């Protein structure tokens, strides 16, 4: 596996896994350019303490998106409001926000709560502030109510964030998604743990624990399974495991390298790297039948496959030009073409959900950074300026990338927007976390 050591070991981070959120996000750049929005604390209409404040989840989600910058709660001109009838547009004239999110929570039976929220067009409300009572429905961009349990408060907060994000940007929100990663706790009997959590690190669960390395988790298109590489049997093997039933299947166990599994868009196949016939090459394996198709056959190294959205071609890293570069191979014809030329190395590529651009690791002047390239214009933009950046994984809406980097001498996980403007970092602690992989929409 030394050959794949540079390429197939995914992003690394150090993480203490606290009780609430394992992966708290610290925003480092891009706040000033984000769009201002106001999130009013949801009004509790019950007795006793509120089970949880949903608006806190919404504020965190919008801030972490890199697109929005929620106003400080103390700066809001109105706080104890939950409906348009209570909204005073004149009071909000000086508020530099384009929209207001407000809502209420009230008991609705045993462990049931009715959550209502409204998204108000503040720009339009300010323009109409002298036009009379603000009961006009045209100020309401969206309005919903749902009955949930106490255990669903965070989940529904993410749902509200998804609605707000899509209504204001036209892009589907990705807050109801999850992340898979491998935690390594050195010194323990079984130090390798395959973990999944909500995108923000909450609701962390262990899928598998092993005394031998685990690596390269990859989500199925329906978000119900993970493919990964395991060395449990003292050799590299590719497994597919259901994250709900825990049932798993060994897909490849050939001599040599079994690595970099990634699901096809229909979820029926895996593209993998195998060296069973000599040098590392790309293969496609049918998960149900184990039927194998060889995609590349070259004396150099071919690895790190990634599917284009139509399922007809693969992105891969190859040394056939002398150094690692990104290529595209068509499955029906075997035709292969080189995509990247700038820099010393380009590797570890992933395709954006719309198929129009790719993100990858670029090495220029010995520095490894995350880059993005438009496939039509071939314009390449380096997105990061941190050190030893590696293993990018795209959000399913194509707006953000998570990747591995180093910070204060430690390996951590970071995030960057697809335009490179917004950046965030996950704080470090004890232990390592490797191979982050962002789920599809759930």
pLDDT for 107-122, tens place per residue? Answer: 998 999 999 999 999 9
Burial 121-149 (b: 16+ CB within 10 A, else e): bbebbbeeeeeeebeeeebebbeeeeebe
Q: How far apart are CA 160 and CA 169, in angstroms?
A: 14
Count CB-CB contacts under 10 A for residue 245: 9
The DSSP 8-state label assigned to residue 125 in this structure reads H
Residues shown for the chain: 442
DSSP labels, 172-231: ----S-EEEEEEE-TTSSS-EEEEEEETTS-S-EEEEEESS-EEEEEE-TTSSEEEEEE-
Is this structure's pTM higher than 0.95? Answer: no
What integer pLDDT is reported at residue 25 of this predicted model?
Answer: 66
What does the pLDDT look like over 263-311, one tens digit per residue? Answer: 999 999 999 999 999 999 999 999 999 999 999 999 999 999 999 999 9
**Highest-confidence segment of 33-37, 126-130, 368-372:** 368-372
Q: How far apart are CA 143 and CA 155, in angstroms?
A: 18
| Summary mean pLDDT of the chain | 89
What does the pLDDT look like over 46-85, one tens digit per residue? Answer: 998 998 999 999 999 999 898 999 999 999 999 999 999 9
Beta-bridged to residue 302, according to DSSP, are 318
**Residue 424 is encoded by which pair of tokens?**
């965030």
What integer pLDDT is reported at residue 150 of this predicted model?
Answer: 93
Pick the closest to residue 122 from 150, 81, 154 (CA basis): 81
Pick the closest to residue 412 from 426, 423, 401 (CA basis): 426
Q: What angle do CA 108, 112, 118 make, to 5 degrees?
A: 70
In the predicted structure, residue 135 carries a pLDDT above the cut 70: no
The DSSP 8-state label assigned to residue 41 in this structure reads P
Q: Measured on CA atoms in the order 334, 335, 340, 341, is the torsion positive or negative?
A: positive
Burial 156-193 (b: 16+ CB within 10 A, else e): bbbbbbbbbbeebeeeebbbbbbbbbbbbbeeeeebbb
Task: pLDDT band for 11, please (50, 70, 90 cuts).
Answer: very low
More reliable by pLDDT, 377 or 2: 377
Count CB-CB contacts under 10 A for residue 309: 13
Q: What angle do CA 91, 92, 94 make, to 5 degrees?
A: 105
Q: How far apart are CA 263 and CA 36, in angstroms?
A: 38
359 phi/psi in degrees, rounded to 5? -120, 150
Task: pLDDT band for 386, please (50, 70, 90 cuts).
Answer: confident
Q: How far apart are CA 374 and CA 376, in angstroms?
A: 6
């Amino acid at each position: 596996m030394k050959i794949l050591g540079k390429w197939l070991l995914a992003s690394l981070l150090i993480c203490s896994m606290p009780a609430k959120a394992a992966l708290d996000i610290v925003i480092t750049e891009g706040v000033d350019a984000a769009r201002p929005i106001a999130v009013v604390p949801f009004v509790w209409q019950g007795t006793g303490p509120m089970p949880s404040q949903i608006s806190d989840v919404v504020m965190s989600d919008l801030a972490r998106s890199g697109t929005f910058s929620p106003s400080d709660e103390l700066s809001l001109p109105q706080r104890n409001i939950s409906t348009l009838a209570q909204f005073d547009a004149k009071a909000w004239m000086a508020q530099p926000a384009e929209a207001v999110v407000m809502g209420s929570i009230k008991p609705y039976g045993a462990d049931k709560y009715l959550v209502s929220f409204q998204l108000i067009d503040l720009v339009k409300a300010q323009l109409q502030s002298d036009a009379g009572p603000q009961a006009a429905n045209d100020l309401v961009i969206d309005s919903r109510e749902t009955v949930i349990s106490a255990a669903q408060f965070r989940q529904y907060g993410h749902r509200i964030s998804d609605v707000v994000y899509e209504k204001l940007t036209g892009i589907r929100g990705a807050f109801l998604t999850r992340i898979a990663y491998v935690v390594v706790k050195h010194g323990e009997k079984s130090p390798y743990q395959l973990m999944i959590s909500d995108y923000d690190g909450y609701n962390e669960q262990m899928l598998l624990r092993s005394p031998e390395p685990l690596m390269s988790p990859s989500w199925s298109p329906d978000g119900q399974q993970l493919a990964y590489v395991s060395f449990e049997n003292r050799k590299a093997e590719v497994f597919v495991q259901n994250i709900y039933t825990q049932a798993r299947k060994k897909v490849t166990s050939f001599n040599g390298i079994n690595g970099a599994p990634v699901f096809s868009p229909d979820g029926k196949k895996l593209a993998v790297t195998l060296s069973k016939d000599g040098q590392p090459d790309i293969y496609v394996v049918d998960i149900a039948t184990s039927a194998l198709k060889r995609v590349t056959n070259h004396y150099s190294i071919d690895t790190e496959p990634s599917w284009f959205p139509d399922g007809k071609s693969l992105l891969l890293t190859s040394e056939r030009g002398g150094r690692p570069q990104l290529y595209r191979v068509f499955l029906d014809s075997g035709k292969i073409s080189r995509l990247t030329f700038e820099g010393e190395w380009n590797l570890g590529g992933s395709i954006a959900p719309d198929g129009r651009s790719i993100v990858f690791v670029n090495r220029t002047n010995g520095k490894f950074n995350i880059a993005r390239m438009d496939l039509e214009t071939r314009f390449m933009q380096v997105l990061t300026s941190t050190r030893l950046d590696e293993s990018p994984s795209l959000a399913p809406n194509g707006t953000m990338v998570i990747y591995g980097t180093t910070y204060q001498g430690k390996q951590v996980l970071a995030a960057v927007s697809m335009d490179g403007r917004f950046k965030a970092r996950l704080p470090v602690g004890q232990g390592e976390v490797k191979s982050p992989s962002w789920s599809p929409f759930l």
